Amino acid sequence: MGKTLMTSDLHLAHDKSFIWEARGFTDVNQMNKVIVERFNSRVTEEDQVWILGDLTLGNLEDAEPLLKSLRGQVHITLGNHDTDRRRAFYESLGWDCQYATLIKYNKWRFYLSHYPTLTQNENEVRPLWNLHGHIHTKNIFCGLYHCYNVCVDAHDCYPISLDEIIEDINRIDLTLPKFFNTIDL
Protein backbone atom coordinates (compact mmCIF):
# COMPACT_ATOMS: atom_id res chain seq x y z
CA MET A 1 0.00 0.00 0.00
CA GLY A 2 1.22 3.48 -0.86
CA LYS A 3 1.31 6.74 1.03
CA THR A 4 -1.62 8.92 2.05
CA LEU A 5 -1.36 12.49 0.79
CA MET A 6 -3.45 15.65 1.13
CA THR A 7 -3.91 18.78 -0.93
CA SER A 8 -6.60 21.31 -1.78
CA ASP A 9 -7.51 24.33 -3.87
CA LEU A 10 -5.59 23.39 -7.00
CA HIS A 11 -7.99 25.58 -9.04
CA LEU A 12 -6.92 23.87 -12.26
CA ALA A 13 -8.10 25.70 -15.41
CA HIS A 14 -9.12 28.70 -13.28
CA ASP A 15 -8.05 31.51 -15.59
CA LYS A 16 -8.16 34.38 -13.11
CA SER A 17 -4.97 36.33 -12.52
CA PHE A 18 -5.63 36.67 -8.78
CA ILE A 19 -5.12 32.88 -8.55
CA TRP A 20 -2.15 32.21 -10.84
CA GLU A 21 -0.30 35.51 -10.24
CA ALA A 22 -0.49 35.08 -6.47
CA ARG A 23 1.19 31.70 -6.94
CA GLY A 24 3.98 33.22 -9.01
CA PHE A 25 2.86 32.02 -12.44
CA THR A 26 2.67 33.99 -15.68
CA ASP A 27 -0.62 32.46 -16.80
CA VAL A 28 -3.13 29.70 -16.12
CA ASN A 29 -1.42 27.26 -18.49
CA GLN A 30 1.87 27.53 -16.61
CA MET A 31 0.04 27.08 -13.30
CA ASN A 32 -1.81 24.00 -14.59
CA LYS A 33 1.40 22.44 -15.91
CA VAL A 34 3.43 23.02 -12.74
CA ILE A 35 0.69 21.89 -10.35
CA VAL A 36 0.09 18.65 -12.28
CA GLU A 37 3.86 18.00 -12.51
CA ARG A 38 4.36 18.60 -8.79
CA PHE A 39 1.32 16.50 -7.91
CA ASN A 40 2.56 13.58 -10.01
CA SER A 41 6.15 13.95 -8.75
CA ARG A 42 4.95 13.03 -5.24
CA VAL A 43 2.08 10.65 -6.01
CA THR A 44 2.24 7.08 -7.32
CA GLU A 45 -0.69 5.03 -8.62
CA GLU A 46 -0.74 3.13 -5.29
CA ASP A 47 -1.08 6.27 -3.16
CA GLN A 48 -4.32 7.54 -1.62
CA VAL A 49 -4.77 11.25 -2.37
CA TRP A 50 -7.41 13.41 -0.70
CA ILE A 51 -8.16 16.66 -2.51
CA LEU A 52 -9.99 18.83 0.02
CA GLY A 53 -12.03 20.96 -2.33
CA ASP A 54 -11.82 23.32 -5.27
CA LEU A 55 -9.88 21.03 -7.58
CA THR A 56 -10.90 22.90 -10.73
CA LEU A 57 -12.77 25.96 -11.88
CA GLY A 58 -13.59 27.17 -15.33
CA ASN A 59 -14.49 24.92 -18.22
CA LEU A 60 -14.57 21.20 -17.34
CA GLU A 61 -13.62 20.33 -20.91
CA ASP A 62 -10.38 22.31 -20.46
CA ALA A 63 -9.74 20.65 -17.10
CA GLU A 64 -10.56 17.08 -18.17
CA PRO A 65 -7.11 16.11 -19.56
CA LEU A 66 -5.45 17.64 -16.49
CA LEU A 67 -7.67 15.68 -14.10
CA LYS A 68 -7.22 12.43 -16.01
CA SER A 69 -3.44 12.86 -15.77
CA LEU A 70 -3.42 12.99 -11.95
CA ARG A 71 -1.92 9.89 -10.36
CA GLY A 72 -3.16 8.00 -7.34
CA GLN A 73 -6.42 6.81 -5.87
CA VAL A 74 -8.22 10.15 -5.69
CA HIS A 75 -10.82 11.08 -3.07
CA ILE A 76 -12.60 14.43 -3.25
CA THR A 77 -13.85 16.44 -0.32
CA LEU A 78 -16.17 18.97 -1.87
CA GLY A 79 -15.40 22.68 -1.55
CA ASN A 80 -17.33 25.89 -2.11
CA HIS A 81 -16.69 25.82 -5.88
CA ASP A 82 -17.58 22.14 -6.35
CA THR A 83 -20.99 22.26 -8.00
CA ASP A 84 -23.27 19.28 -8.62
CA ARG A 85 -21.98 19.21 -12.20
CA ARG A 86 -18.37 19.06 -11.03
CA ARG A 87 -19.20 16.36 -8.50
CA ALA A 88 -20.85 14.26 -11.23
CA PHE A 89 -17.78 14.77 -13.41
CA TYR A 90 -15.39 13.69 -10.61
CA GLU A 91 -17.54 10.64 -9.95
CA SER A 92 -17.46 9.77 -13.68
CA LEU A 93 -13.66 9.50 -13.26
CA GLY A 94 -14.22 6.90 -10.54
CA TRP A 95 -13.42 9.26 -7.69
CA ASP A 96 -15.51 9.23 -4.53
CA CYS A 97 -16.86 12.58 -3.31
CA GLN A 98 -17.87 13.57 0.22
CA TYR A 99 -18.44 16.80 2.13
CA ALA A 100 -16.27 15.66 5.03
CA THR A 101 -14.51 12.50 6.12
CA LEU A 102 -12.97 11.13 9.29
CA ILE A 103 -9.84 9.00 8.88
CA LYS A 104 -7.46 7.29 11.28
CA TYR A 105 -3.75 6.95 10.60
CA ASN A 106 -1.12 5.51 12.98
CA LYS A 107 -3.20 6.35 16.09
CA TRP A 108 -3.92 9.85 14.76
CA ARG A 109 -7.41 11.02 13.88
CA PHE A 110 -8.06 13.53 11.12
CA TYR A 111 -11.27 15.27 10.09
CA LEU A 112 -11.02 16.18 6.41
CA SER A 113 -13.02 19.17 5.21
CA HIS A 114 -12.65 22.05 2.81
CA TYR A 115 -13.23 24.71 5.46
CA PRO A 116 -11.22 25.15 8.69
CA THR A 117 -13.39 23.54 11.35
CA LEU A 118 -13.10 23.45 15.12
CA THR A 119 -13.36 19.79 16.01
CA GLN A 120 -12.85 19.60 19.79
CA ASN A 121 -11.90 21.31 23.02
CA GLU A 122 -8.23 22.04 23.65
CA ASN A 123 -8.03 19.82 26.75
CA GLU A 124 -9.02 16.54 25.12
CA VAL A 125 -6.46 13.76 25.56
CA ARG A 126 -6.46 12.39 22.02
CA PRO A 127 -6.69 15.25 19.56
CA LEU A 128 -8.72 15.22 16.40
CA TRP A 129 -6.97 17.36 13.80
CA ASN A 130 -8.87 19.14 11.06
CA LEU A 131 -7.07 19.03 7.72
CA HIS A 132 -8.52 21.72 5.45
CA GLY A 133 -7.94 24.12 2.59
CA HIS A 134 -10.01 27.11 1.48
CA ILE A 135 -7.94 29.92 3.03
CA HIS A 136 -5.23 30.30 0.31
CA THR A 137 -2.46 31.37 2.69
CA LYS A 138 1.12 30.18 2.98
CA ASN A 139 0.58 29.42 6.69
CA ILE A 140 0.09 25.77 7.56
CA PHE A 141 -1.68 26.73 10.78
CA CYS A 142 -4.61 29.12 10.44
CA GLY A 143 -4.85 30.00 14.13
CA LEU A 144 -7.78 27.72 14.97
CA TYR A 145 -7.14 24.96 17.44
CA HIS A 146 -6.01 21.68 15.81
CA CYS A 147 -6.44 22.93 12.23
CA TYR A 148 -3.81 22.30 9.55
CA ASN A 149 -3.90 23.92 6.08
CA VAL A 150 -3.14 21.52 3.19
CA CYS A 151 -3.84 24.09 0.44
CA VAL A 152 -1.33 24.10 -2.44
CA ASP A 153 -0.56 27.73 -1.55
CA ALA A 154 0.94 26.58 1.77
CA HIS A 155 3.00 23.75 0.23
CA ASP A 156 4.58 25.23 -2.91
CA CYS A 157 1.91 23.53 -5.06
CA TYR A 158 2.80 20.01 -3.85
CA PRO A 159 0.56 17.53 -2.03
CA ILE A 160 1.77 16.71 1.48
CA SER A 161 1.88 13.29 3.12
CA LEU A 162 0.24 12.50 6.44
CA ASP A 163 3.69 11.66 7.79
CA GLU A 164 4.90 15.17 6.91
CA ILE A 165 1.79 16.70 8.47
CA ILE A 166 2.43 14.77 11.69
CA GLU A 167 6.06 15.99 11.68
CA ASP A 168 4.84 19.60 11.34
CA ILE A 169 2.32 19.14 14.15
CA ASN A 170 4.93 17.61 16.44
CA ARG A 171 7.23 20.62 15.87
CA ILE A 172 4.86 23.17 17.36
CA ASP A 173 4.10 23.92 20.97
CA LEU A 174 0.32 24.10 21.22
CA THR A 175 0.50 25.50 24.74
CA LEU A 176 1.75 28.87 23.48
CA PRO A 177 -1.16 31.33 23.56
CA LYS A 178 0.44 33.46 20.83
CA PHE A 179 -0.08 30.59 18.36
CA PHE A 180 -3.83 30.78 18.71
CA ASN A 181 -4.01 34.55 18.58
CA THR A 182 -2.24 34.77 15.22
CA ILE A 183 -4.71 34.46 12.40
CA ASP A 184 -3.67 35.20 8.83
CA LEU A 185 -6.76 34.90 6.64
Q: What is the pLDDT along the chain (185 residues), one digit of tens a residue?
A: 799 999 999 999 999 999 999 999 999 999 999 999 999 999 999 999 999 999 999 889 989 999 999 999 999 999 999 999 999 999 999 999 999 999 999 989 999 999 999 887 666 666 789 999 999 999 998 888 889 999 999 999 999 999 999 999 988 765 544 444 444 44
Single pTM value for the model: 0.90
Cβ(150)–Cβ(160) below 8 Å: yes
Domains of the chain with bracketed CATH: 4-181 (3.60.21.10)
> Which residues, 6+ apart, have CB-to-CB distance to 44 below 8 Å?
2, 3, 71, 72
The SS3 call for residue 97 is: strand
The SS3 call for residue 42 is: helix
